[in-house]
């Protein structure tokens, strides 16, 4: 009996170690573009610490929810999801610290707040990549089955929000978001909003991607309003929050703010759509 328990314990430990290794790979792959982006290094240095801390606090519930739907190992209760969320953040933090050190972006002669700020900011996309590693790099069929069992309308909206946050975060720190909004007229903004909403709906329901959602017996209008419009609204709210977090909205007029939100809402909407296909 003791031998059987010992073997079971060793098997569980080996499974968790394999999940952590896969999470580390996911953290590197998903976060690499931002780890090598100058704006992210600068933000880690001068970003308002309250906004950074709030962003980290917002990320933790997102990781908890992602663990529930598609964590880097199978979970059975909320305590497991909490442990996975904290583990994913720890993996993201350590991978970010290691790579930023190798890239000479983080050095021991720098002030401690600067070091922590740079690593903490990069740990957000890295931790999301660590959490999604199981689905993308590992046991896809099990994750698909688990997601079908657990999914619900609030769950679908959460997944769209998580996707919008991740993709929007990849471009929100860049100056190009504001530059594009300055170049656009109100008609350009309207056209981009319509395009974003249309692509979100098409990506999820129309073109036949793997993992695409089925509208079931619901009519087009019901599905369009409940999922596509709601998803785009979530993408816009997240875009506005990201612009505020990275201090991109100071001094903007209301029209400039709306246009900047719509501009960032384009990649965020695509992230919302693709999250429902890949998570």
pLDDT in tens, 77-89: 777 788 888 888 9
**Which of 93, 116, 140 is at the close of a domain?**
140
Q: Which domain holds residue 177?
A: 153-278
Residue 26: inside a domain: yes
pLDDT, tens digit, for every residue of 60-79? 999 988 888 765 556 667 77
Residues 159 and 249 in one domain: yes
Determine the pLDDT at residue 278.
59
Residue 213: pLDDT above 60? no
Residues 159 and 119 in one domain: no
For 201, the token pair is 């709906």
Residues 102 and 34 in one domain: yes
Residue 273: inside a domain: yes
Residues 24 and 129 in one domain: yes
Residue 267: inside a domain: yes
Whether the CB-CB separation of 49 and 121 falls below 8 Å is answered with no
Residue 134: inside a domain: yes
Instruction: Pick 63 or 274 by higher pLDDT.
Output: 63
Residues 112 and 199 in one domain: no
- The DSSP letter of residue 269 is H
Q: Exposure string (b/e) for 13-39, b if CB count within 10 Å is 16 or more?
A: eeeeeebbebbbbbbbbbbeebbebee
Residue 150: pLDDT band (50, 70, 90) is low
Residues 19 and 130 in one domain: yes
Residues 187 and 115 in one domain: no
Considering its fold, how many domains does the chain have in total?
2
Residue 145: inside a domain: no
Q: Which of 97-106, 153-162, 202-211 has the lowest mean pLDDT?
A: 202-211
* Helix runs in 132-227, H state only: 133-137, 140-150, 153-171, 176-183, 186-205, 220-223
Residue 107: inside a domain: yes
Residues 121 and 195 in one domain: no
Distances (CA, A) of 218 to 27, 118, 207, 210, 221: 38, 46, 18, 21, 8
Q: What is the pTM of this model?
A: 0.82
Residue 149: pLDDT band (50, 70, 90) is very low
Determine the pLDDT at residue 193.
96
Residue 146: inside a domain: no
Residue 206: pLDDT band (50, 70, 90) is low
Residues 229 and 129 in one domain: no
**Which of 140, 174, 189 is at the close of a domain?**
140
**Which of 140, 165, 192 is at the close of a domain?**
140
Average pLDDT across the chain, whole number: 81
Where does residue 76 rank: exposed (0-12), middle (13-18), buried (19+ CB within 10 A)? Answer: exposed
Q: Which of 34-43, 98-107, 135-144 has the lowest mean pLDDT?
A: 135-144
Residues 112 and 49 in one domain: yes
Instruction: Say how far apart CA 129 and CA 72 lie, in whole Å.
Output: 10
Residues 112 and 235 in one domain: no
Determine the pLDDT at residue 221.
77
Residue 187 zone, left/alpha/beta (φ > 0; ψ -120 to 50; rest): alpha
For 127, the token pair is 């931790």
Residues 87 and 12 in one domain: yes
- CA-wise closest residue to 85 among 114, 109, 104, 61: 61
Mean pLDDT across the stretch 210-233? 72
Residue 132: inside a domain: yes
């Amino acid at each position: 009996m003791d031998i059987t328990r010992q073997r079971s314990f060793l098997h569980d430990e080996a499974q968790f170690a394999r999940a952590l290794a896969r999470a580390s790979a996911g953290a590197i792959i998903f976060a690499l573009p931002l780890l090598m982006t100058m704006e992210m290094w600068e933000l880690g240095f001068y970003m308002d610490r309250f906004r950074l801390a709030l962003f980290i606090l917002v990320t933790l519930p997102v990781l908890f929810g992602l663990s529930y739907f598609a964590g880097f190992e199978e979970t059975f209760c909320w305590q497991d999801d909490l442990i996975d969320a904290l583990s994913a953040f720890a993996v993201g933090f350590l991978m970010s610290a290691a790579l930023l050190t190798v890239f000479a972006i983080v050095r021991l002669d720098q002030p401690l707040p600067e070091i922590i700020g740079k690593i903490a900011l990069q740990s957000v996309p890295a931790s999301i990549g660590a959490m999604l590693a199981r689905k993308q790099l590992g046991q896809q069929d099990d994750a698909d089955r688990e997601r079908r069992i657990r999914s619900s309308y609030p769950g679908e909206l959460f997944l769209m929000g998580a996707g919008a946050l991740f993709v929007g975060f990849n471009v929100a720190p860049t100056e190009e978001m504001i530059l594009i909004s300055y170049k656009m007229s109100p008609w350009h903004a309207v056209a981009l909003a319509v395009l974003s909403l249309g692509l979100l709906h098409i990506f999820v329901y129309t073109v036949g991607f793997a993992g695409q959602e089925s509208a079931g017996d619901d009519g087009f209008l019901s599905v369009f309003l409940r999922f596509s419009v709601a998803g785009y609204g979530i993408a816009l709210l997240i875009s506005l929050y990201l612009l505020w977090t990275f201090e991109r909205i100071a001094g903007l007029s209301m029209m400039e703010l709306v246009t900047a939100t719509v501009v960032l809402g384009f990649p965020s909407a695509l992230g919302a759509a693709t999250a429902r296909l890949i998570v």
